[in-house]
Amino acid sequence: MTSGRALSFGAIAQAYEQFRPGYPQELFDTVAAYAGRPPRTALEIGAGTGKATRLFAGRGIAVTATEPDEAMLAELRRHVPAGVTTVRAAFEDVRPKGRERYDLIYAAASLHWTDPAGRWSRMAQLLAPGGVFACFGGPVEPADPDLEEAVRAAGAPVLESARAPSPDGTPSGCGMEWPGTELRQCEHFADVQQALIPRHLTMTAADYLGHLSTVSAYLVLADADRAQVFRDIARVLPDTVEVTADITVHLARRAGPS
């Protein structure tokens, strides 16, 4: 299942590459420490323009990056190392090739676009025995709560919320958030862990608006509504915007026999 909203990013692939922040070395270190040994092969779900692809491929992992949107995949191919294998496919279309299995499967701010039906059994089929699944991402929001509220209020007339609700209804800030909540109930995975990588960034007002232009809640608005929202938000922004961009990481290990 790949929804129209999931495929809304292609029209802004270059903006996505320009304005979405990349991923820090600390993220790779967190995944590698959990794995216990350097993964040799990895499958990436919904790779976008390759922000996370570059992090993992740059550490010597043979990455197969899958992405259903042709324009996003074309942008990715312009930026990732030559050794990365790229496949235009939704996660639901990926099938094991013979006896090939991956040491690591990861999703960077993309798992919520996958079909929940059979998600974890499919994941387990693609992982080697003891292989690791990693999911990570998080919102980019003004660090100043007053500014965050002003931005929210500016979009309120046409936008319910820029932050997507948890797929299983688990509130943010809980001891274990989604997808860890699902993984804990899943027979295919064990040793479920959640970690937080704090991150603070400084953006110009123009770059912050550029980032918002890549968020699906804004992308699906009518052109006139989106233009008005951005004008209203621009009025409340200072020249420089301090943002929190914390990365929540979920990790799990494939359980059961090979």
Residue 16 within any structural domain of the chain: yes
Asked, for residue 210, whether it belongs to a domain, the answer is: no
The reply to whether 227 falls in a domain is no
Per-residue pLDDT at 203: 98
The pLDDT score that the predictor gives to residue 6 is 46
Average pLDDT along the chain, 258 residues, taken 10 residues at a time: 53 94 98 95 97 97 97 96 95 89 97 95 96 97 98 89 70 85 96 98 98 92 94 98 98 84
Residue 69: what pLDDT?
A: 95
User: pTM value?
Assistant: 0.92
In a domain? residue 232 = no
Peptide bond into 198 cis (omega under 30): no
Q: What is the pLDDT of residue 137?
A: 97
Q: Report the domain count for the chain.
A: 1
- Asked whether 152 and 229 are in contact (CB, 8 A), the reply is no
218 occurs within a structural domain: no
Query: Is 3 contained in some domain?
Result: no
Residues 6 or more apart whose Cβ sits within 8 Å of residue 248: 136, 137, 138, 177, 194, 195, 196, 197
In this predicted structure, what is the pLDDT of residue 59? 96
Looking at residue 11, its pLDDT comes to 83
Distances (CA, A) of 4 to 1, 16, 120, 207: 10, 17, 23, 26
Residue 180 placed within a domain? yes
Please report the pLDDT score of residue 141 as a whole number.
Answer: 97
**Is residue 228 one of the residues assigned to a domain?**
no
Residue ranges making up the domain that contains 28 = 10-142+164-201+244-254
Largest CA-CA distance found in the chain, in angstroms, rounded: 58
Q: What's the CATH number where 61 sits?
A: 3.40.50.150
Q: How far apart are CA 66 and CA 215, in angstroms?
A: 20
